[in-house]
Structure 1
Amino acid sequence: MSATFNVIFSGKIAPGANEQKVKNLAMKAFHASPEQLAKLFSGKAVVLKSNLSQEAAQNFVKKLKGIGLVCEIRKKSPAKAQEQPEQPAVEPKPTKPKSIPETDTPVAPKASSTTWDIAPVGTDINPLKAPEPPPAPDTSQFEIKPHGDYLLEPNDSPAPEAPDTSRFSIKP
Protein backbone atom coordinates (compact mmCIF):
# COMPACT_ATOMS: atom_id res chain seq x y z
CA MET A 1 0.00 0.00 0.00
CA SER A 2 1.49 3.34 -1.03
CA ALA A 3 1.74 6.23 1.38
CA THR A 4 -0.83 9.01 1.23
CA PHE A 5 -0.35 12.62 2.22
CA ASN A 6 -2.45 15.52 3.50
CA VAL A 7 -2.00 19.19 2.65
CA ILE A 8 -2.30 21.27 5.82
CA PHE A 9 -2.84 25.04 6.10
CA SER A 10 -2.39 26.89 9.40
CA GLY A 11 -3.30 30.43 8.37
CA LYS A 12 0.23 31.52 7.39
CA ILE A 13 0.83 33.63 4.29
CA ALA A 14 4.01 34.17 2.30
CA PRO A 15 6.40 36.78 3.73
CA GLY A 16 5.85 40.21 2.20
CA ALA A 17 2.45 39.27 0.71
CA ASN A 18 -0.57 41.54 1.11
CA GLU A 19 -2.88 39.73 3.55
CA GLN A 20 -6.15 41.05 2.07
CA LYS A 21 -5.01 40.21 -1.45
CA VAL A 22 -4.09 36.65 -0.41
CA LYS A 23 -7.47 36.22 1.32
CA ASN A 24 -9.32 37.44 -1.78
CA LEU A 25 -7.36 35.04 -3.99
CA ALA A 26 -7.97 32.16 -1.57
CA MET A 27 -11.70 32.96 -1.50
CA LYS A 28 -11.81 32.81 -5.30
CA ALA A 29 -9.60 29.71 -5.58
CA PHE A 30 -11.59 27.69 -3.04
CA HIS A 31 -14.98 29.21 -3.93
CA ALA A 32 -15.29 29.81 -0.19
CA SER A 33 -17.80 31.87 1.74
CA PRO A 34 -16.57 34.49 4.23
CA GLU A 35 -17.34 32.04 7.07
CA GLN A 36 -15.23 29.30 5.47
CA LEU A 37 -12.44 31.83 4.85
CA ALA A 38 -12.50 32.80 8.54
CA LYS A 39 -12.03 29.10 9.47
CA LEU A 40 -9.09 28.81 7.07
CA PHE A 41 -7.28 31.82 8.55
CA SER A 42 -8.14 31.02 12.18
CA GLY A 43 -4.60 29.83 12.91
CA LYS A 44 -5.65 26.23 13.51
CA ALA A 45 -4.35 23.48 11.25
CA VAL A 46 -6.90 22.73 8.52
CA VAL A 47 -6.71 19.83 6.06
CA LEU A 48 -7.14 21.33 2.59
CA LYS A 49 -6.77 18.03 0.72
CA SER A 50 -6.22 14.50 1.91
CA ASN A 51 -5.23 11.11 0.51
CA LEU A 52 -2.87 12.50 -2.13
CA SER A 53 0.25 10.97 -3.58
CA GLN A 54 3.43 12.79 -2.67
CA GLU A 55 3.75 14.26 -6.17
CA ALA A 56 0.11 15.45 -6.23
CA ALA A 57 0.52 16.99 -2.77
CA GLN A 58 3.69 18.84 -3.86
CA ASN A 59 1.95 20.15 -6.99
CA PHE A 60 -1.02 21.34 -4.93
CA VAL A 61 1.28 23.12 -2.44
CA LYS A 62 3.07 24.86 -5.35
CA LYS A 63 -0.26 26.17 -6.68
CA LEU A 64 -1.24 27.44 -3.24
CA LYS A 65 2.16 29.08 -2.81
CA GLY A 66 1.44 30.94 -6.07
CA ILE A 67 -1.47 32.75 -4.41
CA GLY A 68 0.46 33.37 -1.19
CA LEU A 69 -0.59 30.51 1.12
CA VAL A 70 2.10 28.69 3.11
CA CYS A 71 1.12 25.02 3.45
CA GLU A 72 2.81 21.86 4.62
CA ILE A 73 2.60 18.24 3.55
CA ARG A 74 2.09 15.60 6.23
CA LYS A 75 2.26 11.86 5.75
CA LYS A 76 -0.98 10.21 6.75
CA SER A 77 -0.49 7.61 9.48
CA PRO A 78 -1.52 4.02 8.62
CA ALA A 79 -3.90 3.86 11.64
CA LYS A 80 -5.83 6.88 10.39
CA ALA A 81 -5.77 5.59 6.82
CA GLN A 82 -7.78 2.49 7.81
CA GLU A 83 -10.27 4.53 9.84
CA GLN A 84 -12.83 6.77 8.23
CA PRO A 85 -10.94 9.19 5.94
CA GLU A 86 -10.63 12.82 7.04
CA GLN A 87 -12.87 15.30 5.30
CA PRO A 88 -11.12 18.41 4.01
CA ALA A 89 -12.32 21.65 5.63
CA VAL A 90 -12.75 23.24 2.21
CA GLU A 91 -12.55 21.15 -0.95
CA PRO A 92 -10.94 23.42 -3.56
CA LYS A 93 -11.86 23.18 -7.20
CA PRO A 94 -8.88 22.83 -9.52
CA THR A 95 -7.75 26.25 -10.66
CA LYS A 96 -4.68 27.79 -12.16
CA PRO A 97 -3.34 30.47 -9.83
CA LYS A 98 -2.11 32.61 -12.73
CA SER A 99 -5.65 32.87 -14.13
CA ILE A 100 -6.99 34.44 -10.92
CA PRO A 101 -7.16 38.22 -11.37
CA GLU A 102 -5.13 40.10 -8.80
CA THR A 103 -7.03 42.93 -7.15
CA ASP A 104 -6.62 44.77 -3.88
CA THR A 105 -10.36 45.34 -3.52
CA PRO A 106 -12.18 43.04 -1.11
CA VAL A 107 -14.67 40.59 -2.52
CA ALA A 108 -18.25 41.24 -1.42
CA PRO A 109 -19.89 38.26 0.29
CA LYS A 110 -22.73 36.55 -1.52
CA ALA A 111 -26.24 37.40 -0.33
CA SER A 112 -27.53 34.71 2.00
CA SER A 113 -31.20 35.39 1.38
CA THR A 114 -33.13 37.16 -1.31
CA THR A 115 -36.13 39.44 -1.01
CA TRP A 116 -37.63 38.81 -4.41
CA ASP A 117 -41.39 38.77 -4.80
CA ILE A 118 -43.89 38.40 -7.64
CA ALA A 119 -45.85 41.51 -8.59
CA PRO A 120 -49.63 41.23 -9.02
CA VAL A 121 -51.01 40.84 -12.54
CA GLY A 122 -51.24 44.16 -14.36
CA THR A 123 -48.61 45.92 -12.24
CA ASP A 124 -46.33 48.21 -14.20
CA ILE A 125 -42.87 47.01 -13.16
CA ASN A 126 -40.99 49.53 -15.28
CA PRO A 127 -40.73 52.77 -13.28
CA LEU A 128 -39.49 54.64 -16.36
CA LYS A 129 -42.20 55.78 -18.73
CA ALA A 130 -41.56 55.91 -22.46
CA PRO A 131 -41.38 59.48 -23.77
CA GLU A 132 -44.32 60.80 -25.72
CA PRO A 133 -43.77 60.47 -29.46
CA PRO A 134 -43.18 63.74 -31.32
CA PRO A 135 -46.19 65.23 -33.13
CA ALA A 136 -46.75 64.07 -36.71
CA PRO A 137 -45.50 66.54 -39.35
CA ASP A 138 -48.05 68.56 -41.31
CA THR A 139 -48.45 66.97 -44.77
CA SER A 140 -51.54 68.86 -45.90
CA GLN A 141 -49.65 70.62 -48.74
CA PHE A 142 -48.91 67.26 -50.43
CA GLU A 143 -51.23 65.31 -52.70
CA ILE A 144 -51.17 61.77 -54.00
CA LYS A 145 -51.32 61.34 -57.76
CA PRO A 146 -53.37 58.49 -59.24
CA HIS A 147 -51.61 55.33 -60.40
CA GLY A 148 -50.00 55.62 -63.84
CA ASP A 149 -49.81 59.42 -63.72
CA TYR A 150 -46.51 61.34 -63.97
CA LEU A 151 -44.90 62.37 -60.74
CA LEU A 152 -43.65 65.56 -62.43
CA GLU A 153 -45.46 67.58 -65.05
CA PRO A 154 -43.97 66.87 -68.51
CA ASN A 155 -41.78 69.64 -69.87
CA ASP A 156 -42.46 70.44 -73.55
CA SER A 157 -39.31 72.52 -74.00
CA PRO A 158 -36.64 71.07 -76.31
CA ALA A 159 -33.68 69.22 -74.82
CA PRO A 160 -30.45 71.25 -74.58
CA GLU A 161 -27.96 70.93 -77.42
CA ALA A 162 -25.06 68.47 -76.90
CA PRO A 163 -21.71 70.17 -76.22
CA ASP A 164 -18.94 70.12 -78.86
CA THR A 165 -16.32 67.52 -77.82
CA SER A 166 -14.32 67.44 -81.10
CA ARG A 167 -11.31 69.14 -79.53
CA PHE A 168 -10.74 66.22 -77.10
CA SER A 169 -8.71 63.11 -77.98
CA ILE A 170 -7.54 59.96 -76.23
CA LYS A 171 -3.87 59.10 -76.47
CA PRO A 172 -2.81 55.46 -76.22
Structure 2
Amino acid sequence: MRLHAIFLGALLPLLALSGCASSRMYQGPTLDRSELALLFIHGRPNSKYRMIDGKPVDFIYGGRVLEFAPGKHVFQVELSTFRIEGWPISRQTTDFLIGTYENEIDMRPGYTYAHDFHTVNAHQLPDSLCMDGEPHDAPGSSVNATGEFRRMSPTGEKLVCVRAESVRPNKK
Protein backbone atom coordinates (compact mmCIF):
# COMPACT_ATOMS: atom_id res chain seq x y z
CA MET A 1 0.00 0.00 0.00
CA ARG A 2 2.82 2.40 0.88
CA LEU A 3 4.53 1.68 -2.46
CA HIS A 4 1.31 2.66 -4.29
CA ALA A 5 1.18 5.96 -2.39
CA ILE A 6 4.80 6.76 -3.28
CA PHE A 7 4.19 5.89 -6.94
CA LEU A 8 1.04 8.01 -7.11
CA GLY A 9 2.77 10.86 -5.29
CA ALA A 10 5.48 10.89 -7.97
CA LEU A 11 3.12 10.38 -10.91
CA LEU A 12 0.44 13.00 -10.17
CA PRO A 13 2.70 16.07 -10.54
CA LEU A 14 3.95 14.70 -13.88
CA LEU A 15 0.39 14.23 -15.12
CA ALA A 16 -0.52 17.77 -14.08
CA LEU A 17 2.45 19.18 -15.96
CA SER A 18 1.77 17.15 -19.07
CA GLY A 19 -1.80 18.45 -19.49
CA CYS A 20 -0.85 21.73 -21.10
CA ALA A 21 0.82 21.79 -24.47
CA SER A 22 2.56 25.14 -24.85
CA SER A 23 3.90 26.08 -28.26
CA ARG A 24 6.30 28.86 -29.08
CA MET A 25 5.08 30.71 -32.18
CA TYR A 26 7.97 33.14 -32.61
CA GLN A 27 11.65 33.05 -33.49
CA GLY A 28 14.54 34.65 -31.69
CA PRO A 29 15.54 34.78 -28.05
CA THR A 30 13.19 33.51 -25.38
CA LEU A 31 10.89 36.21 -24.08
CA ASP A 32 9.85 36.69 -20.47
CA ARG A 33 6.16 35.96 -19.74
CA SER A 34 5.52 39.70 -19.29
CA GLU A 35 6.82 40.28 -22.85
CA LEU A 36 4.69 37.52 -24.42
CA ALA A 37 1.18 37.50 -25.81
CA LEU A 38 -0.54 34.20 -24.96
CA LEU A 39 -3.38 32.57 -26.92
CA PHE A 40 -5.38 29.87 -25.14
CA ILE A 41 -6.88 27.39 -27.61
CA HIS A 42 -9.74 25.84 -25.71
CA GLY A 43 -10.81 23.83 -28.70
CA ARG A 44 -14.11 22.26 -29.31
CA PRO A 45 -14.93 19.28 -31.49
CA ASN A 46 -16.22 21.61 -34.19
CA SER A 47 -13.26 24.04 -34.33
CA LYS A 48 -9.89 23.83 -36.05
CA TYR A 49 -7.08 26.35 -36.38
CA ARG A 50 -5.89 26.10 -39.99
CA MET A 51 -3.41 28.97 -40.49
CA ILE A 52 -1.53 31.30 -38.19
CA ASP A 53 0.38 34.14 -39.82
CA GLY A 54 0.08 32.42 -43.19
CA LYS A 55 1.58 29.14 -41.96
CA PRO A 56 -0.49 25.93 -41.95
CA VAL A 57 -1.35 24.47 -38.54
CA ASP A 58 -3.88 21.89 -37.45
CA PHE A 59 -4.80 22.48 -33.81
CA ILE A 60 -8.00 20.84 -32.71
CA TYR A 61 -9.56 19.83 -29.41
CA GLY A 62 -7.81 22.45 -27.28
CA GLY A 63 -5.65 22.19 -24.25
CA ARG A 64 -2.97 24.32 -25.87
CA VAL A 65 -1.34 27.65 -25.11
CA LEU A 66 0.47 29.46 -27.90
CA GLU A 67 3.20 32.00 -27.12
CA PHE A 68 3.55 34.98 -29.49
CA ALA A 69 5.88 37.91 -29.76
CA PRO A 70 3.80 41.11 -29.64
CA GLY A 71 2.56 42.52 -32.94
CA LYS A 72 0.01 41.79 -35.65
CA HIS A 73 -1.02 38.18 -36.11
CA VAL A 74 -3.57 36.61 -38.47
CA PHE A 75 -5.63 33.55 -37.52
CA GLN A 76 -7.70 31.35 -39.81
CA VAL A 77 -10.16 29.14 -37.95
CA GLU A 78 -12.70 26.65 -39.32
CA LEU A 79 -15.93 26.06 -37.44
CA SER A 80 -18.36 23.36 -38.50
CA THR A 81 -21.93 22.24 -37.98
CA PHE A 82 -22.77 18.65 -37.24
CA ARG A 83 -25.63 16.27 -36.61
CA ILE A 84 -25.30 12.82 -35.11
CA GLU A 85 -27.91 10.33 -36.29
CA GLY A 86 -28.78 6.97 -34.83
CA TRP A 87 -27.12 7.73 -31.52
CA PRO A 88 -25.74 5.68 -29.78
CA ILE A 89 -25.47 2.93 -32.38
CA SER A 90 -24.31 4.87 -35.43
CA ARG A 91 -22.43 8.18 -35.50
CA GLN A 92 -23.01 9.41 -39.02
CA THR A 93 -22.50 13.10 -39.63
CA THR A 94 -24.85 14.83 -42.06
CA ASP A 95 -25.72 18.42 -42.96
CA PHE A 96 -22.09 19.28 -42.33
CA LEU A 97 -21.05 22.86 -43.19
CA ILE A 98 -17.63 24.37 -42.66
CA GLY A 99 -17.21 28.11 -42.19
CA THR A 100 -13.81 29.76 -42.52
CA TYR A 101 -13.20 32.77 -40.27
CA GLU A 102 -10.11 34.94 -40.47
CA ASN A 103 -9.15 37.72 -38.11
CA GLU A 104 -6.14 39.90 -37.51
CA ILE A 105 -5.21 41.31 -34.14
CA ASP A 106 -2.40 43.44 -32.79
CA MET A 107 -1.33 41.32 -29.82
CA ARG A 108 0.08 43.25 -26.88
CA PRO A 109 2.85 42.13 -24.52
CA GLY A 110 1.57 40.86 -21.18
CA TYR A 111 -1.86 40.06 -22.62
CA THR A 112 -3.80 36.80 -22.82
CA TYR A 113 -6.20 36.07 -25.68
CA ALA A 114 -8.84 33.46 -26.54
CA HIS A 115 -11.21 33.01 -29.47
CA ASP A 116 -14.85 32.94 -28.53
CA PHE A 117 -17.95 31.90 -30.41
CA HIS A 118 -21.41 30.93 -29.38
CA THR A 119 -23.29 28.19 -31.18
CA VAL A 120 -27.02 28.34 -30.57
CA ASN A 121 -27.62 25.13 -32.43
CA ALA A 122 -25.23 22.54 -33.85
CA HIS A 123 -26.93 22.83 -37.26
CA GLN A 124 -26.00 26.51 -37.73
CA LEU A 125 -22.61 28.14 -38.00
CA PRO A 126 -21.89 30.83 -35.41
CA ASP A 127 -22.68 34.38 -36.58
CA SER A 128 -19.15 35.45 -35.72
CA LEU A 129 -15.84 34.42 -34.24
CA CYS A 130 -14.46 36.90 -31.70
CA MET A 131 -11.07 37.40 -30.07
CA ASP A 132 -11.19 38.29 -26.38
CA GLY A 133 -8.20 39.69 -24.50
CA GLU A 134 -7.05 40.98 -21.14
CA PRO A 135 -3.81 41.34 -19.15
CA HIS A 136 -2.19 38.15 -17.82
CA ASP A 137 -3.48 37.38 -14.32
CA ALA A 138 -6.38 39.85 -14.62
CA PRO A 139 -8.45 39.90 -11.40
CA GLY A 140 -11.37 37.53 -11.82
CA SER A 141 -9.71 35.35 -14.47
CA SER A 142 -8.71 31.79 -13.76
CA VAL A 143 -6.68 28.97 -15.28
CA ASN A 144 -7.40 25.32 -14.53
CA ALA A 145 -4.95 23.05 -12.67
CA THR A 146 -3.24 21.74 -15.82
CA GLY A 147 -2.92 25.22 -17.30
CA GLU A 148 -4.68 24.71 -20.63
CA PHE A 149 -8.04 26.38 -20.05
CA ARG A 150 -8.50 30.03 -19.13
CA ARG A 151 -11.70 31.69 -18.05
CA MET A 152 -11.60 35.39 -18.87
CA SER A 153 -12.50 37.88 -16.16
CA PRO A 154 -15.79 39.78 -16.35
CA THR A 155 -13.81 42.80 -17.58
CA GLY A 156 -12.12 40.92 -20.47
CA GLU A 157 -12.46 42.83 -23.75
CA LYS A 158 -14.06 41.58 -26.96
CA LEU A 159 -11.38 42.95 -29.30
CA VAL A 160 -12.48 41.90 -32.78
CA CYS A 161 -15.35 39.86 -34.25
CA VAL A 162 -15.53 38.54 -37.81
CA ARG A 163 -18.12 36.76 -39.90
CA ALA A 164 -17.35 33.65 -41.94
CA GLU A 165 -15.43 34.51 -45.11
CA SER A 166 -16.62 31.37 -46.82
CA VAL A 167 -18.98 28.47 -46.17
CA ARG A 168 -18.67 25.11 -47.89
CA PRO A 169 -20.26 21.68 -47.50
CA ASN A 170 -18.31 18.84 -46.00
CA LYS A 171 -16.82 16.64 -48.74
CA LYS A 172 -16.74 13.44 -46.71
Same fold (TM over 0.5): no
| Higher share of residues assigned helix | 1
User: Which structure has the highest strand share of the two?
Assistant: 2
Larger relative contact order (C-alpha < 8 A, sep ≥ 6)?
1
Give the TM-score normalised by structure 1. Answer: 0.21
Flag the structure with larger Rg.
Answer: 1
